[in-house]
Structure 1
Amino acid sequence: MSARALSVLKEVDTVAGYTTYIDLIRDLVADKNIIATAMKKEVDRVKAAIDTALFGKSCAIVSSGDPGIYAMAGLALEICKERQIPVFSPQKDRSNEHALRVEVVPGIPALSSGASLLGAPLTHDFACISLSDLLTPWKIIENRIECAVKADFVMVIFNPKSKKRDWQLRKTMEIALKYRDKNTPVGIVKNAMRKSQDVRVVSLSELADADVDMLTTVFIGSTQSARYRDFMYTPRGYSGKYTMD
């Protein structure tokens, strides 16, 4: 987590989040009031956090990685807008107004931590796509995959597979193989920077059979991505302009 995130956790009265994420920071928030809910209860816990703040208590909504990437920052602002709650950002001095101060604290998303463990797969343009169709229809996701692969982006795949949703990753591989060589490197990072961390690089043709879950981030290389010893990287284009030896 970022230094600012750690500072905020120390300052607030209440911490709200998905139970699994709360468990990751139990030692940091032992003296705080806790709002913890299960999966698919995102709206309930964000509403509870907002209500806590409206009653005058500071509250942090924690997410995995960065709160603005497939996480709760957008939902919190969406609910505030729906309920017409006056809010202001820390960049604006409105401390005398009757409004909630809302700060979105940057974190370290899995696309950054996972990429660093692999080497440098995101040195050039990339697209980030979630395979979860709980909130986004699969047809839209599939179209985004097709466009990203056809445009030769490196693809970062979030939420690649769950217990009830196990076919989308194979479909993603099949789409990618229409435009990529079967030996294209694919980085697989599970539990980045956490206990049970696992980092592997496989070929694109092996992706569908790889051991992945909801705590895994998948990096599908572009046509330029390569492997060197333990690392996966994507050239920026320097070799076309400069001598590399």
Structure 2
Amino acid sequence: MNNNGKIYVVGIGPGNREQMSLLALRAIKESDVIVGYKTYINIIEDLTEGKEVINSGMKKEIERCDITIDEAEKGKVVSIISSGDPGVYGMAGVILELVAKRNSDIEVEVVPGITAANAAAASLGAPLMHDYAVISLSDLLTDWEVIKRRIDCAAAGDFIITLYNPRSKGRVTQIEEAREIIMQYRKPTTPVGIVRNAKREGEEVFITNLENMLKHKIDMFTMVIIGNTNTYKLNDKMITPRGYFK
């Protein structure tokens, strides 16, 4: 055990073991304590045998991070886990900010993971071959007007746009507004990839277009990737050309 304690902020990727990095597996193996959202803890349950496990529900991010630091300050090695990559809408930033606020000398190592955007893109083909923007439609922590402005800028700049948290039970109109903004700059025939449970059991992959994208099931388990003006569909794959064949 590290007498000074240590925190691993671990990205477990989409969830399947094959999609986890060797470093993520090693960090979890080395840890005395595993902290995380209970759904993600369940995914790696077989890796936590013999370890102290602390889990909690949604919207407990600050609490989980405080517990993680508390345990590390006792001299323990602690892994706090995020799905995807912990630096993309994950726990990395919160941990680093809280450690700084405490003036703690605890070592923090961020362990990257495959993001939902990259996992979904792989299932679709190669839609992210050029510049792209990642935007969350959740307005819990960001004002909706700010999100709309970001969508507008990304669409105007002809970025491929990947949408996280596109629709929830209590948030149903944002995806509709996002589509309206993007359609000011893109043709209705612009390819749109919709992937539910990317690289997980029960994965569903659809390639549609801006005009028809809302006809498909879109929820919090879904990634939506909207092509730029050059993106096209080829043999059931979505491709954004990089320009190699000019």
Q: Does the alignment reach a TM-score above 0.5? A: yes
**1:192 Cα deviation (Å)?**
1.2
Separation in structure 1 between the aligned mates of residue 50 and residue 188 of structure 2, nearest angstrom: 52
**1:237 Cα deviation (Å)?**
1.3
Q: 1:92 corresponds to which residue?
A: none
- Is 1:36 equivalent to 2:55 in the alignment? yes
Moved more, 170-179 or 24-33: 24-33
Separation in structure 1 between the aligned mates of residue 212 and residue 79 of structure 2, nearest angstrom: 41
- What TM-score results when the alignment is normalised by the length of structure 2? 0.90
Q: 1:55 corresponds to which residue?
A: 74
> Which of 85, 89, 92 is the matching residue for 1:66?
85
- Is 1:27 equivalent to 2:46 in the alignment? yes
Moved more, 157-166 or 204-213: 204-213
- Is 1:149 equivalent to 2:167 in the alignment? no
User: Which letter maps to 1:169?
Assistant: I
Q: 1:21, 1:63 within 8 Å by CA — same for their partners in 2?
A: yes
Separation in structure 1 between the aligned mates of residue 96 and residue 177 of structure 2, nearest angstrom: 34
Moved more, 198-207 or 127-136: 198-207
User: Which letter maps to 1:29?
Assistant: T
> Which of 129, 136, 139 is the matching residue for 2:135?
129
Identical-pair percentage: 48
**1:173 Cα deviation (Å)?**
0.6
Q: 1:16, 1:59 within 8 Å by CA — same for their partners in 2?
A: yes
Separation in structure 2 between the aligned mates of residue 150 and residue 219 of structure 1, nearest angstrom: 16
Q: 1:212 corresponds to which residue?
A: 218
Partner deviation per Cα, 1:31-79 (whole Å, 9 max, x = no partner) = 2211111110010011101100001111101001111111000010011
Partner deviation per Cα, 1:101-149 (whole Å, 9 max, x = no partner) = 1100011111111111110000000000011111111111000000000
- What TM-score results when the alignment is normalised by the length of structure 1? 0.90
Separation in structure 2 between the aligned mates of residue 6 and residue 194 of structure 1, nearest angstrom: 18
Q: 1:108 corresponds to which residue?
A: 114
- Is 1:187 equivalent to 2:206 in the alignment? no
Q: 1:163 corresponds to which residue?
A: 169
Moved more, 65-74 or 76-85: 76-85
**1:153 Cα deviation (Å)?**
0.2
Secondary structure of 1:239 counterpart: coil
Number of aligned residues: 227
Q: 1:201 corresponds to which residue?
A: 207
Q: 1:91 corresponds to which residue?
A: none
RMSD: 0.9
Q: Which runs of 5+ in 1 are unaligned?
A: 87-99, 241-245
> Which of 100, 103, 108 is the matching residue for 1:84?
103
Q: Which runs of 5+ in 2 are unaligned?
A: 1-19
Separation in structure 2 between the aligned mates of residue 33 and residue 212 of structure 1, nearest angstrom: 36
Q: Which segments of structure 1 move beyond 3 Å, counting only runs of 4 or more?
A: none
Q: 1:170, 1:207 within 8 Å by CA — same for their partners in 2?
A: no
Q: 1:189, 1:216 within 8 Å by CA — same for their partners in 2?
A: yes
Partner deviation per Cα, 1:193-242 (whole Å, 9 max, x = no partner) = 111111111111122232111121110000110000110010111232xx
Separation in structure 1 between the aligned mates of residue 79 and residue 40 of structure 2, nearest angstrom: 13
